């Protein structure tokens, strides 16, 4: 059975529910988990207003602080369930690539993620990261609703 699950999260309610389900699966199979949150690279020209106001250093500091808070919820849920957990904050303009790369590097044998995350304009511009992971990953992917 699966021994190491990768749990991507964008901090959305859908991701939080997928994390909960992924940790329950890990507990059931006596697996460990790695939580991952991907933040975009800093760009001077961007569609994201928060980048326009920051310097590179400010953006990275704020992004890492936000990622730490999001990943803390994964750590807390895993701790409560008694599931071994580590976390990764990756920086990439292509979240699906960072997710797949991390799964490879960490030796994960399953990626468990939400069917969708944030909606609205961000969803339109970014596209479905879950779909891209499904299409490009060599590891099995379980999509949680």
DSSP string, 79-125: HHHT--EEEEEEE-S-HHHHHHHHHHHHT-SEEEEES----THHHHH
Percentage of the chain with pLDDT > 90?
72
Q: Domain of 29?
A: 4-144
pLDDT of residue 85: 98
Q: Count Cβ atoms below 10 Å from residue 61 Cβ, excluding itself.
A: 12
CATH number at residue 66: 3.40.50.620
Q: Helix axis angle, 13-29 relative to 56-81, nearest 10°? A: 40
Query: The whole model's pTM is what?
Result: 0.87
Residue-wise pLDDT for 12-66, tens only, equals 999 999 999 999 999 999 999 999 999 998 876 655 565 556 677 888 889 999 9
- In the chain, the number of structural domains is 1
- Alpha carbon 120 to its chain's center: 19
Report strand pairing: 141-144 vs 4-8. unpaired
């Amino acid at each position: 059975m699966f021994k190491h699950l990768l749990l991507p999260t964008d901090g959305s309610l859908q991701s939080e529910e997928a994390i909960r389900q992924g940790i329950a699966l890990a507990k059931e199979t006596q697996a460990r988990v790695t939580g991952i949150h991907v933040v975009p690279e800093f760009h001077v020209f961007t569609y994201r207003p928060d980048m326009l106001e920051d310097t590179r250093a400010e953006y990275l500091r704020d992004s890492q602080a936000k990622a730490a808070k999001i990943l803390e919820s994964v750590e807390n849920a895993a701790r409560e369930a008694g599931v071994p957990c580590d976390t990764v904050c990756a920086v990439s303009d292509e979240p699906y690539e960072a997710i797949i790369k991390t799964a490879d590097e960490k030796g994960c044998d399953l990626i468990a993620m939400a069917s969708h995350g944030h909606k609205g304009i961000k969803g339109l511009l970014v596209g479905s990261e879950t779909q891209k992971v499904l299409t490009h990953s060599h590891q099995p992917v379980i999509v949680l609703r």
